[in-house]
Structure 1
Amino acid sequence: MSGLLEGKRLLITGVITESSIAFHAAKQAQEQGAEVVLTGFGRLSLIERIAKRLPTPAPLVELDVQNTEHLDTLADRVREHVDGLDGVLHSIAFAPQSCLGAPFLDAPAEDVAKAVEVSAFSYKAVANACLPLLGSGSSVVGMDFDARVAWPAYNWMGVAKAALESTNRYLARELGPKGIRVNLVAAGPVKTMAARSIPGFSELEDSWGDRAPLGWDTTDAGPVARTICALMSDWMPATTGSMVMADGGVHSLGS
C-alpha cells in the first residue's frame, strides 16, 4: 500500500532538534513516501546529526531568511537534490527576548520589526524563493499559534503570528491561479526548544490538556505532523488560505 505522500518532494524548514515540529513532520512525511530536503540556519553540524536520525537521512541546505543571497539561490541549491518540489513547510519564527515575556509596552520598534520579518515576511520570502520549483497541485504550509486572541507572555510574537495569518491569505490569493495551495497549521503548544525560550509559556502548556475537549499531550508532536502531511497531500485539493487547527479543540472554547 502506497503512502499518503508517495512520490512527493518536500522542503522542510525549521528543524533544530528532534523535538522540533519540523523534525516530526519530516519523519512522518518520509514514512508516508515523501522525499525530504531540509533547511537549517546556525548550528548546521547539529542539524546534520539530527537529519541522520530520520528514517532516511535527508540532505541539508543552509537558509537564513534574512540573507537575500540565500533566498535568491535557494531554488538552485534545492535543485541539487530534487528536480522540483510538491510542498514546502515554513516552520520558522524568532523574536528578540524583549518581545516575549517582557512587558508588551516596552519592546523597541527594531525588535518588533525583526520578529515580524523573520516570523511573517519570511513566509512570503520562502514561498517566492521556491516558486521556480513548485507546480500546480503543490502545497505551502506554515506553522502558526492561533493569533486571533492575546495569549499570556506571547506578546509581540502574537502580533507577528497575526501578520503571518494575513500573509497566508494574500499568498493564497496570489498563488491560487498557479494551482498552489497555501495554508497554516495552528498547533497547540508542544514542548520544543522554541517554546522553552518563552518566559511564562509553560503555564499555558501545563493547562492546555485540561482545557482541550480532545485532550492534549505537549510532548507529542505527532498529531501536528500528521495534519501538516494531510495538507501536503492530494487529499485537500480545494483548501487554501485556511488556518487548520491542530490543538485538541481549545480554539473552539470561550474560556
Structure 2
Amino acid sequence: MSDFLQLAGKSILVMGVANRKSVAWQTAQVLTEAGAEVVYAVRSEARRDQLARFTGDAPIYICDVEKQAEIDALRDSLSADGRTLQGIVHSIAFADYSAGWKPFHETPRSAFLQAVDISCFSLIAVSNALRDLVDKEHGSVVTISISTTRMAAENYGYMAPVKAALDSTVCFLAKSFSGFSKIRFNAVCPGLLKTSASAGIPGYVDSYLFAEQATLRKEAVQTQEVANTAAFLLSPRSSGINAQGLVIDAGMSTNYFDKAIVTRPFDGSKN
C-alpha cells in the first residue's frame, strides 16, 4: 500500500525539534515520507533559524511553552493560516542540571517546578489551546516519555517523577477530551537513546552502555524506532490505541538479570 499510515496530505504539528538527532526531527522525517505536511513549533527565533536550514519551505512557528501568551499566539497563527491538524507531536522536556548532581531529596524546588511546567504541563496547555484545530474524529496527540519511571536512577533524578506526571497526564487528557471528541492521547516510552538532550544528563554514557547490554538483542534502542512508533500512533491505523504508553526498549525490562551482566562484576571480565 502506498499510503499505509493514511497520513498523506494531513497537517501535523511537531514541537520540540532540537537538531537532527532528536526524536522530534526523526519523527518529522517519517511523517514527511508518509506524505504528511509537517509544520514545526520551536521555542525561539534562534532555534527557528537553525531548523530552517534543513526544513525547506516547511512552516516554522515560535512557541516558548513556558509562556501561555506564546501558546495562544501559536493557536492564532495556525488558525489564521487555515490549518486543521491531524495530530500533534509533543517532544518537549527540560531539566536544569546546572547545580550538578544532587541526591533526590535535595532536588531544588525551582528546578523541579520548571521541569514539570515545561515537560508536563505544556502538554495540557498546548492541547487545550489547540483543541479546536485538531481533527475531532481522527486526531491524535503523541508525547515522548521514558520506558519506566519506577527505576530510581540517581543520575536521572527528579525527571523520572516529572515523566510519571506526564504519563498520568496522557490518561487524564484522553478521558477529558473524550467528552467532546475522538482525539486520542498516547505516549511513546523509549529506553535510553543517543540524543543531544540525553548528553546533558550526568553520567548518562555509563547508563546508556549498560542499557544497551541489558536489551535482549544487545543493541541500543534507535531514535528511528521511536519515530516509527510515534508516526504509527498519529495515524488512523492506531485508532484503537488511546491513553497508553508504548514501551520501546528492545526487551530491556525483561532482561535485568541477564547472566552476562549479573556475573560480570564477579569474574573480573571487562567485556
Runs of 4+ with deviation above 6 angstroms: none
- For residue 223 of structure 1, the aligned residue among 198, 221, 225 is 225
Give the letter aligned to residue 96 of structure 2.
P
Does 2:86 correspond to 1:86? Answer: yes
Kindly provide the CA deviation profile for residues 7-43 of structure 1, in whole angstroms up to 9, marking residues without a partner as x: 221000110111111000001110011101111113x
Q: Which residue number corresponds to residue 201 of structure 1?
A: 204
What is the RMSD computed on CA atoms of the aligned residues? Answer: 1.9
Please say if residues 143 and 186 of structure 1, whose CA atoms lie closer than 8 Å, have aligned partners that are also in contact: yes
Does 2:106 correspond to 1:70? Answer: no
Q: Which moved more, 1:77-86 or 1:156-165?
A: 77-86
Q: Which moved more, 1:10-19 or 1:98-107?
A: 98-107
**Runs of 5+ unmatched residues, structure 2:** 258-271
Q: Which residue number corresponds to residue 183 of structure 2?
A: 180
Q: What's the offset of the Cα at 1:210?
A: 1.3
Tell me, in whole angstroms, the C-alpha distance in 2 between the residues paired with 1:116 and 1:35.
Answer: 30
Q: What's the offset of the Cα at 1:104?
A: 1.4
Give the letter aligned to residue 61 of structure 2.
V
Q: Which residue number corresponds to residue 48 of structure 1?
A: 49
Tell me, in whole angstroms, the C-alpha distance in 1 between the residues paired with 2:78 and 2:38.
Answer: 10
Cα distance change of structure 1 residues 73 and 199 upon mapping to structure 2, 3 Å threshold? same
Q: What's the offset of the Cα at 1:52?
A: 4.0
Please say if residues 12 and 88 of structure 1, whose CA atoms lie closer than 8 Å, have aligned partners that are also in contact: yes
Tell me, in whole angstroms, the C-alpha distance in 2 between the residues paired with 1:50 and 1:105.
Answer: 38
Give the letter aligned to residue 49 of structure 1.
Q
Tell me, in whole angstroms, the C-alpha distance in 2 between the residues paired with 1:197 and 1:152.
Answer: 14
Identity %: 31
Cα distance change of structure 1 residues 72 and 159 upon mapping to structure 2, 3 Å threshold? same
Please say if residues 147 and 158 of structure 1, whose CA atoms lie closer than 8 Å, have aligned partners that are also in contact: yes
Q: Which residue number corresponds to residue 6 of structure 1?
A: 8
Please say if residues 11 and 87 of structure 2, whose CA atoms lie closer than 8 Å, have aligned partners that are also in contact: yes
Tell me, in whole angstroms, the C-alpha distance in 1 between the residues paired with 2:206 and 2:125.
Answer: 33
**Runs of 5+ unmatched residues, structure 1:** none
- For residue 189 of structure 1, the aligned residue among 175, 187, 192 is 192
Q: What's the offset of the Cα at 1:222?
A: 0.7
Q: What's the offset of the Cα at 1:191?
A: 1.7
Tell me, in whole angstroms, the C-alpha distance in 2 between the residues paired with 1:8 and 1:114.
Answer: 33
Q: Which has the larger radius of gyration?
A: 2
For residue 138 of structure 2, give the secondary structure of its aligned residue in structure 1. strand
For residue 58 of structure 2, give the secondary structure of its aligned residue in structure 1. coil
Cα distance change of structure 1 residues 50 and 204 upon mapping to structure 2, 3 Å threshold? same
For residue 225 of structure 1, give the secondary structure of its aligned residue in structure 2. helix
Give the letter aligned to residue 9 of structure 1.
S
